[in-house]
Amino acid sequence: MTTQNNPLLQEFDHAPFSKIENKHFKPAIIKAIEMAREEINAIATNADEATFPYTIETLEFSGEKLDRVTSIFFNLNSAETNEDIQQIAQEVSPLLSEFRNDIILNKALFEKVKSVYNKKDQLDLNTEQKTLLDRKYKAFSRNGANLPIEKQNELRDIDKKLSKSSLDFGQNVLAETNKFELHLTDENDLKGLPESFNEEAAQAAASKEKEGWIFTLEYPSYLPFMKYAENRELRKKMALAFGSKGFHGDELDNQENVLQIAKLRYQRAQLLGYKTHAHFVLEERMAETPEKVNSFLEEILEKAKPAAEREFKELENFAKDLDGIDQLQKWDAAFYSEKLKQKLFNLDDEKLKPYFKLENVIDGVFTVAQKLYGLSFKEVFDVDKYHEDVKTYQVLDENNKEMALFYADFHPRPGKRDGAWMTGYKSQYKKDGEEERPHISIVCNFTKPSKKQPSLLTFNEVTTLFHEFGHALHGMLGDTEYPSLSGANVYWDFVELPSQLLENWCYEEEALQLFAKHYETGEVIPMELIQKIKESANFQEGMATVRQLSFGMLDLSWHGVDPSAITDVKANEDNAFERTKLFPNVAENCMSTAFSHIFQGGYSAGYYSYKWAEVLDADTFEYFQQNGIFSREVANKFKTNILSQGGTDHPMTLYKKFRGKEPKPDALLKRAGLIEK
């Protein structure tokens, strides 16, 4: 196939979905890599002295074709995939990582970047340019570019071992999950479980040509079982199996992997000149240092612990009164919490759903964006889509300037992965005096309309839509020079601020009145239902907070220290959990051996981010509340200092410009009902 008839290799603004066939992807990616390589080689081999515009900016804008083609490809692999696309992904992924590795290892290129970096103070760069230079330099230095060759080889060796251990870790967790099944044949054992859930369990059994019902350790099976199953012995059996993944002393045991990964990460950090792995990671986070993360976790623990203990006592008493439980165990937590919640709030999705017709909620989120930022959304029908369910909108500001193209893909179908996310098909940037506006997309899995009923969202789906739309606003309102610093390209512990912030409007009467109307009668959602939603959102918030903190502390117990003295995984974990413990310790369980977030995924030394982001969004929303939730003044400050700025400056600097001070956890603690308002 030639370049000429591959639509991905032609010039395009909107992704040309209707012209793209699967056969176009691989050749386009190979060609785009080749183009990017040429661009980069030209920078690296240029005989002239390295300069900011030539070296750094050209590097920033290199590989544009590759970015556009791969964003289309990988977005489709998530939202509309099939076996062909998955096969192509297998084939192109190694090519792409090889390409990225070659850049990082390109010595001539690094020397160019470094020479600009070394004279950065004489260059009269603005903040965004300084940030770009810093990021480009660190991309090399944090991968060992400054080390002598034998140390570089040592680093590659560590990286190889690390990826092997992480892979083994993940495979063991997966194998442990798949190995276990709870096979029931006596209908009495199903007591308490919802009918539809049992049907799925029966199907799972039937597909294995077995009688009865099969429950597994996968979340969609495990969580409802723990919440509803009345048989305490069976809950215990499930919990022990779930909690001992990778901790059986057999060939799937992960204790060695945990120790190994922690040690390798520490060695890697030391080699690069950092005190610990956490110091290395946090250098590029808003929180900056492990010391700061520690004191953050400690401060919240101190405030949340009394509430958690109170809630635990309440749960204990409830279980005792109801079933005579003398010693509340971990496998009782979800079950009695659910019963207590029902008793206190009696709030179920079916009561709320009629007020949240999808079209109304979309109008609602658009209206909120209009009131805050003056944006309007016009559905357009002349833009290519990858599926007929996708809706496309032109996003305009108050002066009718086109801010973004917005794709919204709401319903599940085969070929779409679970969950909800925001992504993009084109970055925002400015180049040669021309401004390019972004193409932003959100993808969700909301219930489809039926012949009888429109799509009615659960409250959780409503907050999900607001959440993803908050990310989308970050992208749409980007106003930066450089694509790699635009929109949601910010430090990890800062990226959830715009999204979590917008969820707050879902709990406000003033906002709900705009869109939460009964789909048949048009009646606005009653205030007492809103009140109940708020109260139930805070149910057991103390216990949930302490639990989250405990995971952050466990994470740092592995990554914020020199781990070479640790020999006993379980003992280290018990020690880390000591001050957050509510339930009796279970000797046969271990969390670290299945803590994929930090030992397999990218959250090492980052688990605290969940709470950190909540502190930011609560602190921001309090500012709105003080001035009115639709205050244009506060919204403008937020847009000018945060949303439009992307990653152009340190998040703490941006935040202080917006808020006038550093974030404090008080607003979060108040909102969660953990301290007095």
Contact region with Zn ion (CB under 5 A), list: 146-154, 362-370, 499-507, 536-544: 499-507
b (16+ CB within 10 A) / e for 301-320: bebbbebbeebbeebbebbe
> Least CB distance from residue 472 to Zn ion, whole Å?
11
| Shorter beta-carbon distance to Zn ion: residue 193 or 465 | 465
Residue 468 annotated to the active site: yes
> Least CB distance from residue 663 to Zn ion, whole Å?
18
Contact between 422 and 496 under an 8 Å Cβ cutoff? The reply is: no
User: Interior CA angle at 342 toward 338 and 345, to 5°?
Assistant: 130
Contact between 54 and 43 under an 8 Å Cβ cutoff? The reply is: yes
> Least CB distance from residue 493 to Zn ion, whole Å?
12
User: Which member of 64, 176, 461, 468 is catalytic?
Assistant: 468
- Strand pairing class (439-443; 402-409): parallel
| Shorter beta-carbon distance to Zn ion: residue 144 or 646 | 646
Contact region with Zn ion (CB under 5 A), list: 57-65, 174-182, 491-499, 544-552: 491-499
How many Cβ atoms are within 10 Å of 367's Cβ, its own excluded?
Answer: 17
| Shorter beta-carbon distance to Zn ion: residue 55 or 500 | 500
State the Cα–Cα distance between residues 364 and 525, nearest whole angstrom: 13
Contact between 190 and 182 under an 8 Å Cβ cutoff? The reply is: no
> Least CB distance from residue 467 to Zn ion, whole Å?
6
Strand, coil or helix: 430: strand
| Shorter beta-carbon distance to Zn ion: residue 44 or 472 | 472
Contact region with Zn ion (CB under 5 A), list: 225-233, 254-262, 359-367, 494-502: 494-502
Long-range Cβ contacts of 2-7 (<8 Å, 24+ apart)? 3/31, 6/31
| Shorter beta-carbon distance to Zn ion: residue 20 or 643 | 643
| Shorter beta-carbon distance to Zn ion: residue 409 or 573 | 409
Contact region with Zn ion (CB under 5 A), list: 199-207, 213-221, 355-363, 495-503: 495-503
**Counting every residue, how long is the chain?**
677
- Name the phi and psi angles at 567, rounded to 5: -120, -20
Size of site (CB under 5 A) for Zn ion: 1
Q: Considering only residues 55, 71, 255, 499, which one is a binding residue for Zn ion as defined by CB under 5 A?
A: 499
Three-state SS letters, 145-159? CCCCHHHHHHHHHHH
For residue 145, which of 74, 44, 214, 244 has the smallest C-alpha distance? 44
| Shorter beta-carbon distance to Zn ion: residue 499 or 550 | 499
> Least CB distance from residue 161 to Zn ion, whole Å?
32
State the Cα–Cα distance between residues 309 and 318, nearest whole angstrom: 14
451 to 490: interface string for Zn ion, x by CB under 5 A: ----------------------------------------
Contact region with Zn ion (CB under 5 A), list: 20-28, 97-105, 345-353, 496-504: 496-504
> Least CB distance from residue 611 to Zn ion, whole Å?
14
Task: Give the torsion through C-alpha atoms of 304, 307, 312, 315, to 10 deg.
Answer: -140
Q: Is 166 in the site for Zn ion (CB under 5 A)?
A: no
Footprint of Zn ion on 4-43 (CB under 5 A):
none
Contact region with Zn ion (CB under 5 A), list: 101-109, 251-259, 497-505, 637-645: 497-505
Alpha helices in 459-568 (DSSP H): 459-476, 497-503, 509-515, 527-537, 541-559
State the Cα–Cα distance between residues 200 and 216, nearest whole angstrom: 11
Place of tokens 């893909």: 409
501 to 540: interface string for Zn ion, x by CB under 5 A: ----------------------------------------
Query: Which single residue brings its beta carbon nearest to Zn ion?
Result: 499
| Shorter beta-carbon distance to Zn ion: residue 197 or 406 | 406
> Least CB distance from residue 658 to Zn ion, whole Å?
19
Helices 651-659 and 632-641, interaxial angle, to 10°? 160
For residue 461, which of 422, 415, 503 has the smallest C-alpha distance? 503
> Least CB distance from residue 474 to Zn ion, whole Å?
10
Give the footprint of Zn ion on this chain (CB under 5 A).
Answer: 499
User: Which residues are the active-site residues?
Assistant: 468
